[in-house]
């Protein structure tokens, strides 16, 4: 008989169960750690184990190491005890130093984070999860070790070179891509060529989420590349309509792209990435919604936020976005949006912020404007796609074309040369600040 009862520091189990990880996580996340006994009934009576105890110990150790994040190595010990010729296991769990601990592969959510309360394991609230995590990381992505240390930054370096930066050996350190102990941090992870961050644009048939029409995946790459792809998708979805009436013709877009672009970038830069939730981008039949996680910083009110008074939650992200001219100045994004839309488009919640922009509506029936037509007979699929990209975005760069078409830059250069030599396209302005243009007359035909 064990001389104690189940309480905040003690748990009894007759045998090894499927939820042992939850119990251990509960103790790791508690103030004092705890003790788990296997082979003991709920009232403390030793029942013993008939298993091969050496094999059982190895199995428990493997489950703790494989199924719990962050690593619990050095925070537990397993020993075999005996009472009345009955052997049982005692697992001692220390208080964890990297809370919140959680089930591997499920992220830091209430379904995977547990804490010991009394004699039971309870799911953590999102508020507690966020508080513990911020205490651990000092509220900075710079202090969070990247889950993968084999990182490369070819895409990011291309973007910097395009903006005229000299890329030296100290590039990664200048961008604060390392923790204090010299490991790649979460900032580096977000900007690396390959990561597991999923960024999606969902398109629904109606004004709710009942019928998903399309789901576009733009993640698993540098955050800058993902940002450009999200912006490009939202821009191409922005239909232009014409209101025809004698003697005038009025054109209007579904939504103000500049405002939507600012909202998207704000969501990406100010998102609380430490909780492992990316922003959400959703296109409905009547509106576009952009949600970022983390809520308003505690030191600011909603009114102050809407006036543009806020501090960057992720200064390292802000620095890169600003270097690459995706962000101009702090706080200007919200002011730009509110020049075009009423502040009622903002909806504030404890853990996230949503911007909801309704599509333009009025009493007239709109006719969709037809885009410029180009004779693309005898062109390859890649050449045809390049022309379509230029029509949609005249200032598109060669690396962006390569990324979007999943080909090499050398392939893009060869096809661009063919299109220029055969009078399909031309370059207007300088190499750095100019843009592409479709020739007005191709093959003797006017294609405007």
Bridge partners (DSSP) of residue 241 are 252, 368
What are the counts of helices (DSSP H) followed by strands (DSSP E) for the chain? 14, 21
CB 382 within 8 A of CB 405: yes
The encoded tokens of residue 223 equal: 């955050």
Altogether, the residues listed in the chain come to a count of 448
Kindly report the pTM of this predicted structure.
Answer: 0.57
Q: Tell me how crowded residue 34 is: count the other CB atoms within 10 A of its CB.
A: 21
> Helix, strand, or coil here: 406?
coil
Q: Across 94-247, where does the E strand assignment appear?
A: 102-103, 114-117, 120-123, 200-204, 212-217, 240-245
Cα(142)–Cα(177) distance, integer angstroms: 7
Ramachandran sector of residue 424 (left: φ over 0; alpha: ψ -120 to 50; beta: rest)? alpha
Considering the domain delimited by 138-370, tell me its CATH architecture. 2-Layer Sandwich (3.30)
Q: Write out the CATH class of domain 10-137.
A: alpha beta
Lookup result for tokens 């600011």: 300
Per-residue model confidence (pLDDT) at position 172? 96
Residues in Cβ contact with 152 at an 8 Å cutoff, skipping those fewer than 6 apart? 192, 193, 194
Pairing relation of β-strands 346-348 and 367-368? unpaired
Residues in Cβ contact with 396 at an 8 Å cutoff, skipping those fewer than 6 apart? 389, 390, 436
Ramachandran angles phi, psi of 201, nearest 5°: -120, 115
Q: What residue ranges do the domains of the chain occupy?
A: 10-137, 138-370, 372-446
Cα(158)–Cα(177) distance, integer angstroms: 17
Among residues 224, 27, 250, 234, which one has the least CA distance to residue 118? 27
CB 324 within 8 A of CB 275: no
pLDDT 10s digits, 397-436: 888 888 777 778 888 999 999 999 988 899 988 777 788 9
Pairing relation of β-strands 86-93 and 34-38? antiparallel
Cα(176)–Cα(181) distance, integer angstroms: 12
Among residues 423, 428, 427, which one has the least CA distance to residue 439? 423
Among residues 101, 116, 90, 115, which one has the least CA distance to residue 8? 116
DSSP code of 7?
A: B
Ramachandran sector of residue 200 (left: φ over 0; alpha: ψ -120 to 50; beta: rest)? beta
Per-residue model confidence (pLDDT) at position 370? 44
Ramachandran angles phi, psi of 104, nearest 5°: -65, 140
Residues of the chain with pLDDT under 50: 363-364, 366-371, 443-448
Bridge partners (DSSP) of residue 7 are 10
Among residues 98, 107, 72, which one has the least CA distance to residue 179? 98
Task: Give the CB-side neighbour count of residue 228, counting CA atoms within 13 A.
Answer: 21
Could you tell me what percent of the chain has a pLDDT over 70? Answer: 88
Pairing relation of β-strands 10-13 and 445-446? unpaired
DSSP code of 40?
A: B
Query: Helices marked H in 38-191 — which ranges?
Result: 53-67, 126-137, 154-162, 171-174, 186-191
Residues in Cβ contact with 122 at an 8 Å cutoff, skipping those fewer than 6 apart? 26, 114, 115, 116
Classified by CATH at the fold level, domain 372-446 comes out as Arc Repressor Mutant, subunit A (1.10.10)
Bridge partners (DSSP) of residue 291 are 280, 354
The encoded tokens of residue 402 equal: 């390569």
DSSP one-letter string for 417-436: HHHHHTTSEEEES-TTT-EE
Supply the Cα-derived Rg of the chain in whole angstroms: 28
Per-residue model confidence (pLDDT) at position 243? 64
The encoded tokens of residue 245 equal: 């009436």
CB 230 within 8 A of CB 246: no
């Amino acid at each position: 008989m064990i001389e104690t009862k189940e309480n905040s520091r003690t748990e009894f189990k007759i045998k090894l169960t499927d939820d042992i990880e939850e119990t251990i996580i509960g103790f790791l996340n508690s103030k004092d750690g705890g003790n788990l006994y296997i082979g003991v009934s709920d009232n403390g009576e030793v029942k013993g184990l008939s298993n091969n105890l050496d094999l059982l110990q190895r199995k428990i150790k493997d489950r703790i190491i494989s199924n719990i994040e962050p690593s619990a190595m050095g925070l537990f010990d397993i020993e075999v005890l005996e009472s009345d010729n009955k052997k049982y296991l005692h697992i001692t769990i220390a208080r964890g130093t990297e809370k919140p601990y959680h089930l591997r592969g499920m992220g830091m959510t209430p379904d995977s984070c547990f804490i010991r309360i009394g004699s039971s394991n309870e799911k953590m609230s999102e508020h507690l999860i966020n508080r513990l995590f911020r205490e651990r990381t000092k509220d900075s992505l710079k202090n969070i070790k990247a889950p993968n240390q084999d990182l490369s930054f070819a895409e990011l370096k291309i973007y910097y070179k395009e903006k005229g930066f000299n890329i030296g050996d100290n590039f990664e350190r200048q961008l604060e891509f390392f923790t204090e102990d010299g490991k790649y941090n979460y900032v580096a992870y977000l900007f690396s060529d390959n990561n597991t961050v999923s960024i999606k644009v969902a398109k629904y048939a109606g004004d709710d989420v009942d019928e998903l029409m399309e789901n576009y995946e733009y993640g698993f790459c540098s955050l800058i590349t993902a940002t450009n792809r999200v912006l490009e998708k939202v821009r191409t979805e922005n239909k232009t309509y014409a209101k025809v009436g004698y003697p005038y013709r009025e054109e209007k877009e579904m939504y103000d792209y500049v405002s939507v672009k600012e909202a998207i970038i704000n969501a990406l830069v100010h998102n609380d990435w430490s909780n492992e939730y990316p922003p959400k981008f959703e296109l409905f039949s009547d509106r576009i919604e952009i949600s970022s996680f983390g809520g308003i910083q505690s030191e600011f009110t909603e009114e102050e936020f809407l006036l543009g008074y806020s501090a960057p939650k992720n200064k390292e992200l802000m620095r890169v976005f600003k270097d690459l001219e995706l962000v101009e100045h702090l706080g200007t994004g919200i002011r730009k949006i509110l020049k075009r839309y009423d502040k009622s488009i903002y909806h504030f919640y404890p853990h996230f912020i949503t911007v909801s922009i309704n599509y333009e509506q009025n009493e007239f029936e709109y006719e969709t404007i037809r885009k410029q037509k180009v004779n693309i007979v005898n062109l390859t699929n890649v050449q045809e796609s390049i022309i379509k990209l230029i029509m949609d975005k005249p200032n598109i760069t060669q690396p962006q074309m390569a990324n979007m078409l999943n080909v090499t830059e050398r392939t893009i250069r060869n096809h661009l040369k063919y299109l220029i030599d055969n009078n399909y396209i031309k370059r207007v302005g300088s190499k750095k600040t100019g843009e592409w243009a479709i020739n007005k007359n191709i093959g003797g035909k006017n294609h405007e």
